[in-house]
Amino acid sequence: MHVGESFRSGRNWLSDFIPATGMKGVHWVVVLLSLVMTLIAWQIAEQQVEKQIRQRFESSLDRTVGLIEDRMNKYEDALWAGVSAVESHGGDMTLKQWRIFSQNLRIEERYPGINGIGVIHFLDGANDQEYLRTRRAERADFVIHPQHDQAVSMPISFIEPQASNAAAVGLDVAHEENRRTAALASRDTGKAQITGPIVLVQDEGATPGFLFYAPFFAGGPQPDVTSRRENFLGAVYAPFVVRKLLDGLLSQELRQINLSISDDGETIYDEHLADDPLYDPDPLFTREIKLPLYGREWQLDVRTNLAFRQGNSVSQPILILIGGLIIEALLISIFLMLSRAHKSAIKYADRVTEELRQKTETLERTNSELQQFAYAASHDLKTPIRGIGGLTGLLREDLKEYMSSKDANPDVAMGLELIEERVRRMQNLTSGILEFSRSGCAQADEPPLDLRKFVTDLRSDLDLPSDALDLNGSVDQISVAPSSCRRVLENLVTNAIKHHDNKRPIKVILTATESGDWMEIAVSDNGPGIDEAYHAKVFEMFQTLRMSSAAESTGLGLAIVKKAVVQNGGHVWVESEPGKGATFRFLWPIETSSPNELPCEQAA
């Protein structure tokens, strides 16, 4: 029963009970209930606003972290380009050849934030004199420095642009622990690595920096640690000043968040300074993030600044509260003036209460509409995304003759490929959001899911060998919400295949058994496995543990799995260790579906 209806049902007996007092008791009840409704409306509005502001913070945070990762991936590509250049010259290059390569790379134009790019050679004592003769033939004053007691030397042979990096030429990176440790780690892993915090010899400001290594070997990439150590020739490297790196990412004034970065407890970048005009001593949101990055783990301390506070000072909840309190004051004044005319006062109170009830219904309706936003937005985005893809195709067709000419600018083709790649990512993301919104919905008169036919069809759809996907267990078909269960199984199997490291032939086993009133269904693979620290995180939206070289992922697959399982009353979890594959298990009802399940046409 609504508040207004309660007043109407009690009005008659109250009018008869206290006619002499002018129904002052009822007046105060109305005031109290109206105040409660105002407070409820204020709290609902405040929660909604806080949720929206938090989402803006999360979006800004994700964008900043993504920019750091994308920029480092781009720098890594430049290093591997240098490795390819060295290997194309038989494992070594002259100073002149390296200078030509670096000039064509255009690092100052295409890689802002990088100090330079150079080559480090590995010396074990046997080849030191020959190396020095070669270098001094190119540069007579070449000297390896400083002296140290390590068994090996790793001098910097070249670095371009040379003018701003002259102090680094001949520097033996083996002399200092952070430089040496990361260089040897890149040798042993065969992967790009960064150092712990260092101060670059060419940095007059002596600010924190780091080196970025990509190793190269005699005969190209090596399969194991032993062969890498035996054939290690050196590394292509780039020096960075952290301040210059982040200055090249995004203007601090546009980010609305400040951050500090530390590595192993040492602060290498800090924007949390009291003399900063955007510094907020009491930030609205803070977050500490651990960012694994090429053999190191950066700790990011992210806080909102004054620009964020000014841009998110939404006054709607306060206005609702003030408006409600004004209404209470008016009610009290009216009741005091009309205490002898209790019937008119009660009618007025009913009207005000009804208005407040409608405000609450409006807020509830708005909340429901917000829940539909993700579905509508992702659905509506499909048309412009397809349009962008179509226009890009037309551009590529129109520019076909130009791009095949010798005067063609390679950046044009690169730009078109970048647009097409972003279109594919947006298409995958919007499709994932649509599937997430509709996951768990029921279809009328669905036939049971035949697991054996499903496995056979899935092998065909994914072009898998007959022994790559097997079915075990005592359950052959699923009768409860079969389409939802099919989506869960398709996502789990596809996820296992997408994230397989290809170190061994793919093997996925689907097992379905009865367990009381439930079916326990498991999808096991022989992939790289998942660390226990990420077992809960993988089921969150937009979360993915893929490496930069892995297949593109929207981070929605396992979130869709969890939503569908939970909506059908079940539970999903993962059992895995790094290097030992992963098993995703979930419980599915045998006889009755979840009461939360919706028809597909009603599901958001």
- pLDDT over 50 at 491, yes or no: yes
Express the helix, strand and coil content of the chain in percent, nearest 5 each.
50, 20, 30
- The mean pLDDT value of the chain amounts to 80
Mean pLDDT, range 425-430, rounded to an integer: 58
pLDDT band at 20 (very low <50, low <70, confident <90, very high): very low
Q: Which residues pair with 120 in a beta bridge?
A: 156, 235
pLDDT at 463: 85
Tell me how crowded residue 456 is: count the other CB atoms within 10 A of its CB.
Answer: 14
Q: Which of 386-390, 397-401, 452-456, 532-536 has the lowest mean pLDDT?
A: 386-390
SS (H, E, C) 398-450: HCHHHHCCCCCCHHHHHHHHHHHHHHHHHHHHHHHHHHHHHCCCECCCCCCEE
Among candidate residues 468, 453, 482, the one with its CA nearest the CA of residue 590: 482
- Structure tokens belonging to residue 195: 């150092």
CA 455, 457, 462, 464 torsion: positive or negative?
positive
Position with higher pLDDT, 204 vs 115: 115
Q: What is the pLDDT of residues 337-364, one digit of tens each?
A: 666 666 666 777 788 788 888 877 776 6
Backbone φ and ψ for 277, nearest 5 degrees, come out as -60, -20
Tell me how crowded residue 485 is: count the other CB atoms within 10 A of its CB.
Answer: 26
d(CA 124, CA 403): 48
pLDDT at 602: 44
pLDDT at 120: 96
Among candidate residues 68, 67, 79, the one with its CA nearest the CA of residue 105: 79
Position with higher pLDDT, 278 vs 546: 278
Most confident of 62-66, 369-373, 509-513: 509-513
pLDDT band at 550 (very low <50, low <70, confident <90, very high): very low
Position with higher pLDDT, 598 vs 401: 401
Q: What is the pLDDT of residues 195-223, one digit of tens each?
A: 999 999 888 888 899 999 999 999 999 99
Position with higher pLDDT, 157 vs 322: 157
Q: Which of 95-99, 428-432, 597-601 has the lowest mean pLDDT?
A: 597-601
pLDDT at 449: 87
d(CA 158, CA 256): 40
pLDDT at 261: 93
Query: How long is the chain?
Result: 604
Q: What is the pLDDT of residues 230-264, one digit of tens each?
A: 999 999 999 998 888 887 665 554 568 888 999 99
Long-range contacts of the stretch 408-416 (C-beta < 8 A, 24+): 416/392
Q: Within 203-255, where are the H helices? A: 225-231, 242-247, 252-255
Q: State pTM to two decimals.
A: 0.49
Q: What is the pLDDT of residues 142-196, one digit of tens each?
A: 999 999 999 899 999 999 998 889 999 999 999 999 999 999 999 999 999 999 9
Report the greatest alpha carbon distance in the chain: 115
pLDDT at 14: 41
- pLDDT over 60 at 441, yes or no: no
pLDDT at 11: 47
- Structure tokens belonging to residue 8: 């109407």
HSE of 323 in the Cβ direction (CA atoms, 13 Å)? 14
Share of the chain above pLDDT 70, in %: 77
pLDDT at 2: 42
pLDDT at 535: 83
HSE of 525 in the Cβ direction (CA atoms, 13 Å)? 24
HSE of 331 in the Cβ direction (CA atoms, 13 Å)? 26
Position with higher pLDDT, 430 vs 29: 29
d(CA 384, CA 386): 5
pLDDT at 235: 97
pLDDT at 516: 83
Q: Which residue bears the tokens 């075990």?
A: 472
- pLDDT over 80 at 589, yes or no: yes
Mean pLDDT, range 10-29, rounded to an integer: 52
Calculate the alpha carbon distances from 276 to 172, 174, 258, 305 in Å: 38, 38, 10, 10
Q: What is the pLDDT of residues 123-154, one digit of tens each?
A: 988 788 999 999 999 999 999 999 999 989 99
Among candidate residues 579, 576, 560, 556, the one with its CA nearest the CA of residue 568: 560
Judge contact between 192 and 160, C-beta under 8 A. Answer: no
Among candidate residues 73, 69, 81, the one with its CA nearest the CA of residue 106: 81
pLDDT at 86: 94
pLDDT band at 10 (very low <50, low <70, confident <90, very high): very low
Judge contact between 456 and 436, C-beta under 8 A. Answer: no
pLDDT band at 388 (very low <50, low <70, confident <90, very high): confident
- pLDDT over 60 at 19, yes or no: no
Among candidate residues 446, 454, 450, 388, the one with its CA nearest the CA of residue 421: 388
